[in-house]
């Protein structure tokens, strides 16, 4: 409060005291409120005037010409001349089973038993599930009976006719030969009688036809005897053997159907999924179990340009969380995926087991060394990572020294990070070849400060 305000306040107080003494009666509440409000207004005005006067005094006393400071020395790199000797790029992929298949039965039937559950590990050849085989048992029994009958007939054909059969055939030939001689004698007798007109024509005809029938029966008996004496023909034996082989083939089909009634592990692995339970009637080929091998490999989608430099048998580095190992590239897909525009490579880890957490479905990273990176995409440049400063809303910036003068005011330039390789970062943005970018002392600088370029880092390859 200044002297003028204090004098006015004292005068107001004396006036109030004088008026209160001149009055003989007591002051009313309404008059007291009015007087209090007037007094408060005067006090506030006095305080405001005093502060304004003090502020003006301070401003007038603090005015002084700004001090000029020397430019801050900084180190810079020239945009477009910094490149790493080698570029290591990391890509994320997924561990997949080297082999996997959905197992089912080759024939329809009712599921009798499924022996394994999800996650069970099984060795090659172990039974996993089976279906009913009652129909196969009946078919096998009937087919085996047919085989026995056909085999017995084949043995008989090979053995040939029995001696008793041959003797009976010879006896029959002799009997028919005697009957033939009798027919001849009767015919001769009837012819003599007919010559003397002592016999009838009918009797003569009967004798002649009887002789002819006796001759045919004798010839037929002789042919049968020759067949028995010569034995069974080779063609008959071969035909019967073919019949036996056909029946044996039916038995093999039954055995194959019996094997198809079981699902056996095609290789060492584990059950990933189980789709069917006991009692279900399934069709041929319907999936019952999803089977995967214990061996895994990493599948990675990488740009086609990078995949061109990758060859089978190349050694790369794999990382699963905190575990690292060496892997071997086993194959590179020869086509570009239409959806992702990448090519897939498959890497097999070395010396890693599934018990260490390397199981199908895990996300794994691969680090590829693509050689020199002297050529990059247009308008992209390598800069030391120390030259980058994080700005607001995810924007990165650098401080650039325009022109070629040794001293100049630095400028802020916005850039976009593409990838990082060791101490270098590939960026694109408001930069041009030849620009000078400050690489040290970033915590001491702001845009617009004058700096002195004392160190230029020319083309120094940085080892990643």
pLDDT interval class at 246 (50, 70, 90): very high
Question: Which tens digits make up the pLDDT trace of 61-74?
Answer: 434 434 457 888 88
Report long-range pairs for 111-115 (Cβ below 8 Å, ≥24 apart).
Answer: 111/276, 111/277, 111/278, 111/279, 111/280, 111/281, 111/282, 111/288, 112/278, 113/278, 114/274, 114/276, 114/277, 114/278, 114/288, 114/289
Question: Which tens digits make up the pLDDT trace of 9-42?
Answer: 555 555 555 554 444 444 455 555 666 666 666 5
Q: Do residues 428 and 434 touch, judged by C-beta distance below 8 A?
A: no
Least confident range of 187-196, 248-257, 453-462: 453-462
What is the average pLDDT score of the chain?
81
Residue 49's pLDDT is what?
Answer: 57
Least confident range of 252-261, 323-332, 443-452: 443-452
What tokens were used for 459? 């083309």
Per-residue CA distances from 158 to 7, 232, 234 (Å):
156, 7, 9
**How do the domains of the chain map onto residue ranges?**
3-62, 74-84+375-457, 101-128+263-291, 138-254, 293-369
Q: Report the top-level CATH class of 101-128+263-291.
A: mainly beta
Q: Does domain 74-84+375-457 have CATH number 2.40.420.20?
A: yes
Q: Does domain 293-369 have CATH number 2.40.30.170?
A: yes
Q: Give the integer Cα–Cα distance in Å for 270 and 272.
A: 6
Percent of the chain with pLDDT over 70: 80
Question: Which tens digits make up the pLDDT trace of 336-386?
Answer: 999 989 999 999 999 877 667 888 889 999 988 765 554 566 788 888 888
Question: Which tens digits make up the pLDDT trace of 159-169?
Answer: 878 888 888 88
Residue 60's pLDDT is what?
Answer: 42
Tracing tokens 């997924």 back to the chain, one arrives at 94
Give the CA-trace dihedral at 20, 23, 26, 30, to 10 degrees: -70
């Amino acid at each position: 409060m200044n002297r003028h305000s204090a004098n006015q306040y004292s005068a107001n107080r004396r006036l109030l005291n004088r008026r209160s003494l001149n009055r003989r009666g007591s002051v009313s509440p309404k008059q007291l409120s009015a007087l209090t409000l007037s007094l408060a207004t005067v006090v506030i005005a006095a305080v405001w005037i005093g502060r304004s006067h003090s502020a003006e005094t301070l401003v007038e006393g603090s005015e002084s010409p700004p001090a000029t400071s020397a430019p801050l020395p900084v180190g810079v790199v020239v945009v477009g001349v910094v490149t790493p000797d080698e570029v290591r790029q990391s890509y994320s992929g997924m561990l997949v089973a080297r082999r996997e298949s959905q197992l089912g039965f080759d024939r329809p039937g009712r599921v009798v038993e499924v022996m394994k559950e999800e996650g069970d590990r099984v060795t090659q050849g172990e039974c996993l599930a089976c279906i009913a085989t009652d129909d196969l048992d009946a078919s096998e029994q009937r087919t085996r009976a047919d085989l026995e009958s056909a085999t017995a007939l084949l043995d008989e054909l090979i053995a040939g006719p029995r001696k008793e059969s041959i003797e009976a055939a010879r006896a029959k030939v002799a009997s028919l030969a005697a009957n033939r001689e009798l027919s001849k004698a009767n015919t001769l007798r009837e012819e003599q009688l007919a010559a003397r007109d002592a016999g009838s024509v009918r009797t003569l005809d009967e004798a002649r036809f009887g002789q002819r029938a006796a001759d045919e029966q004798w010839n037929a008996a002789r042919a049968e005897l020759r067949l028995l004496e010569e034995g069974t023909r080779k063609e008959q034996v071969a035909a019967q053997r073919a019949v036996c082989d056909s029946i044996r083939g039916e038995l093999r089909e039954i055995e194959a159907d019996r094997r198809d009634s079981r699902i056996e592990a095609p290789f060492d692995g584990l059950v990933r999924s189980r789709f069917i339970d006991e009692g279900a009637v399934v069709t041929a080929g319907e999936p019952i179990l999803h089977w995967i091998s214990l061996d895994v490999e990493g599948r990675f989608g990488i740009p086609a340009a990078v995949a061109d430099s990758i060859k089978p048998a190349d050694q790369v580095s794999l990382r699963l969380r905190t575990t690292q190992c060496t892997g071997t590239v086993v194959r590179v897909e020869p086509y570009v995926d239409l959806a992702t525009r990448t090519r897939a490579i498959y890497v097999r880890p070395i010396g890693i087991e599934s018990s260490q957490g390397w199981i199908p479905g895990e996300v794994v990273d691969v680090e590829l060394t693509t050689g020199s990176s002297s050529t990059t995409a247009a308008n992209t440049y390598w800069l030391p990572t120390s030259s980058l400063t994080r700005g607001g809303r995810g924007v990165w910036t650098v401080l650039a020294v325009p022109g070629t003068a040794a001293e100049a005011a630095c400028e802020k330039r916005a850039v976009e990070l593409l990838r990082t390789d060791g101490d270098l970062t590939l960026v694109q943005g408001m930069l041009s070849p030849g620009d000078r970018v400050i690489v040290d002392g970033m915590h001491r600088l702001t845009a617009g400060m004058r700096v002195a370029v004392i160190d230029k880092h020319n083309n120094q390859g940085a080892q990643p």
